């Protein structure tokens, strides 16, 4: 392991890779600040740039962008009450009231320190957890992989929110359907190409990611009429002091510690991600607070800001565990990174740890460097970076549109891809209006090919019998967890309804 860490450290501290972390953090912070564009869009916009880099540098850049975007989202949450992404919505609960009390500088500093600690604790746990899990997963067979992918897909659906489970499952199936377009890798026959030569290679991952996230998000901003809005000018003097007193540090230190560990654990669960971690950490902290302190929540409580900030960064780190060790992304952003790794010809999973130790370890080490960059460079520069937001939206939007489409075009040099992007964007807008989540579709699309390969292999070995799902204890355990995860939201809804009915009956009997 130490050899690997040394290899990773050597790769991560190479001047070019350090530059990638810094550039990634800056670009991510800027994109993350723009309301509507979150880490997924930010990472998607970076994919075409990373194609020209070696795998380690590419993934390091993307990891930097990821952290930067989460940090940028927190900044706009605190300063203008406009969360850049879902995982920083909770940050605004107490961060924005602090900014209104002329404590914006303190809120930004606390957010940065909490993020840094969350990310650091997350990176340390990842350092030990990832290789341990990777060595266990070396014994995995096709059936286990199929069951794991099933778990990943069902978990994403299960965590998608109340009333959204069926929609998320449908989107997963839709993603799997798109993955079947093109040439079947086992038999060589073409499927769903309708005679088009451009579809023989299937739908490109980059095209789908850019169309559904970057392009659709920007177009939705225009559709909502937000393109004429201008970010309020941020006055450096109004930010106030960025220093925290000793008492304040004492108050938030335990919160940051427990929220970081909690966030990491939630982040490891496939599909849970930073958003759920931040909401749960905020709820947990509020429940732990005394009755007097509880009243401060929502009005600028330091603990209310520190908890979600540490949790979302730790969860971002945690979501790399299933990606690096099992090849299953824990969130939409890591799903995009999985696609990028596959495009590099690297198969994430237990073999990554053995075959590409430089990629495996340098990503982990660069995460820590990314956190340092955010703290040392980005925090003092926030007032200057935020000035970029002063670029009028009517100028910024066509430029983002242009980068999205040329990012795809410059990889394939095929204008059919641009037309395909327009079509997919129209479909994505329609689905978004109907409140269908996009991340499960991308996850289904990315896992589709590998899932089909493993299912085919497992079924061939068992001569068409699904007994591979329960023959080995490991596969059976994963399958049962997948079934439980899938049925849990349905069961909890049914139990909730039964309880309400029970309470109604009791009230009626009491009245009678």
Q: Which residues bind other proteins (CB under 8 A)?
A: 52, 163, 166-167, 169-170, 173-174, 176-177, 180, 184, 186-192, 219, 222-225, 227-228, 392-395, 397-399, 401-402, 405-406, 409-410, 415, 418-419, 421-422, 425-426, 429, 431, 433-436, 452, 455-456, 459-460, 462-464
The alpha-helical segments, DSSP class H, found in 374-414 are 379-385, 393-412
How far is Cα 126 from Cα 133, in angstroms, rounded to an integer? 10
Nearest distance in Å: CB 395, other proteins: 5
The C-alpha atoms of residue 459 and residue 501 are separated, in whole angstroms, by: 45
Nearer to other proteins, 101 or 460 (CB): 460
State how beta strands 182-183 and 190-191 pair: antiparallel
CB of 289 to other proteins, least distance (A): 33
Task: Identify which of residues 195 and 510 has a Cβ nearer to other proteins in the complex.
Answer: 195
Distance in Å from the first CA to the final CA of the chain: 70
Distance (Å, rounded) from C-alpha 201 to C-alpha 178?
A: 12
Nearest one of 338, 304, 309, 305 to 321, comparing CA atoms: 338
- Judged by beta carbon, residue 298 or residue 398, the one nearer other proteins is 398
Report the residue number, 135 or 226, with the smaller CB distance to other proteins.
Answer: 226
The pair of three-digit structure tokens given for residue 255, joined into one six-digit string: 């919160």
Contacts of 151 (CB under 8 A, 6+ apart): 270, 328, 478, 481, 482, 485
Report d(CA 500, CA 489) in Å as an integer: 16
Task: Kindly state the smallest distance separating residue 190's Cβ from other proteins, in Å.
Answer: 8
Tokens 């003097």 belong to 237
* Shortest reach from residue 455's CB to other proteins, in Å: 7
Question: 235 with 121: CB under 8 angstroms?
Answer: no
Q: Residue 116 has which token pair? A: 């840094």
Q: In this structure, are residues 407 and 138 in contact, taking their beta carbons and an 8 Å threshold?
A: no
> In angstroms, what is the minimal distance from the CB of 249 to other proteins?
45
> Closer to other proteins at the Cβ: 167 or 303?
167
Question: Least distance from C-beta 256 to other proteins, angstroms?
Answer: 38
Nearer CB in complex with other proteins: 111/153: 153
Q: By C-beta, is 338 or 486 nearer to other proteins?
A: 486
What are the residue ranges of helices labelled H in 34-103?
Answer: 39-50, 55-80, 89-100
Beta bridge partners of 84: none
Nearest distance, CB of residue 176 and other proteins, angstroms: 5
Q: What angle do CA 253, 90, 227 make, to 5 degrees?
A: 135
Nearest residue (CB) to other proteins, 189 versus 508: 189
CB of 492 to other proteins, least distance (A): 15
| Residue-wise DSSP of 451-497 | HHHHHHHHHHHTTT-TTHHHHSHHHHHHHHHHHHHHHHHHHHHHHHH
Dist CA 142 CA 474 (whole Å): 12
The C-alpha atoms of residue 480 and residue 438 are separated, in whole angstroms, by 26
Toward other proteins, which CB reaches closer, 464 or 512? Answer: 464
Output the smallest distance, CB 89 to other proteins, in A: 21
For the CB of residue 223, give the shortest distance to other proteins in the complex, in Å. Answer: 5
* Residue 163 vs 496, nearer CB to other proteins: 163
């Amino acid at each position: 392991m130490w050899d690997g860490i040394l290899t990773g450290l050597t790769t991560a501290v190479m001047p070019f890779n350090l530059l990638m972390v810094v550039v990634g953090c800056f670009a991510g912070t800027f994109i993350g600040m723009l309301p509507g564009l979150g880490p997924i869009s930010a990472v998607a916009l970076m994919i075409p740039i990373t194609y020209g880099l070696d795998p380690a540098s590419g993934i390091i850049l993307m990891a930097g962008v990821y952290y930067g975007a989460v940090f940028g989202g927190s900044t706009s949450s605190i300063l203008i009450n406009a969360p850049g992404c879902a995982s920083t919505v909770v940050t605004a609960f107490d961060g924005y009231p602090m900014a209104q009390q002329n404590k914006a500088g303190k809120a930004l500093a606390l957010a940065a320190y909490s993020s840094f600690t969350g990310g650091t604790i997350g990176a340390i746990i990842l350092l030990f957890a990832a290789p341990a899990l990777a060595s266990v997963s070396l014994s995995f067979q096709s059936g286990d992989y199929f069951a794991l992918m099933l778990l990943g897909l069902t978990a994403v659906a299960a965590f998608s929110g109340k009333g959204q489970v069926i929609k998320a499952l449908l989107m997963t199936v839709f993603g799997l359907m798109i993955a079947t377009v093109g040439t079947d890798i086992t038999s060589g026959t073409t499927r769903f190409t309708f005679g088009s030569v451009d579809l023989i290679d299937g739908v490109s991952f980059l095209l789908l990611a850019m169309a559904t996230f970057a392009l659709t998000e920007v177009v939705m901003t225009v559709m909502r009429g937000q393109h004429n809005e201008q970010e309020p000018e941020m006055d450096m003097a109004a930010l106030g002091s960025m220093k925290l007193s000793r008492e304040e540090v004492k108050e938030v230190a335990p919160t940051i510690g427990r929220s970081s560990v909690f966030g990491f654990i939630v982040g490891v669960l496939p599909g849970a991600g930073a958003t759920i971690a931040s909401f749960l950490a905020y709820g947990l902290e509020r429940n732990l607070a005394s009755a007097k302190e509880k009243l401060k929540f929502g009005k600028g409580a330091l603990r209310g800001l520190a908890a979600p900030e540490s949790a979302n960064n730790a969860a971002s780190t945690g979501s790399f565990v299933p990606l690096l060790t099992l090849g299953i992304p824990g969130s939409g952003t890591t799903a995009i990174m999985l696609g990028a790794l596959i495009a590099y010809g690297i198969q994430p999973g237990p073999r990554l740890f053995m075959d590409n130790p430089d990629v495996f370890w340098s990503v982990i080490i660069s995460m820590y460097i990314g956190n340092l960059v955010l703290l040392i460079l980005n925090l003092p520069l926030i007032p200057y970076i935020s000035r970029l937001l002063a670029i009028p939206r009517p100028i910024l939007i066509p430029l983002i549109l242009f980068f999205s489409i040329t990012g795809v075009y410059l990889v394939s040099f095929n204008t059919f891809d641009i037309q395909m992007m327009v079509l997919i964007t129209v479909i994505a807008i329609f689905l978004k209006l109907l409140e269908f989540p996009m991340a499960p579709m991308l996850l289904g699309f990315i896992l589709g090919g590998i899932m089909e390969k493993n299912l085919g292999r497992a079924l061939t070995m068992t001569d068409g019998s699904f007994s591979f799902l329960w023959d080995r204890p490991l596969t059976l355990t994963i399958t049962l967890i997948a079934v439980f995860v899938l049925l849990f939201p349905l069961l909890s809804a049914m139990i909730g309804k039964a309880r309400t009915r029970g309470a109604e009956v009791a009230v009626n009997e009491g009245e009678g």
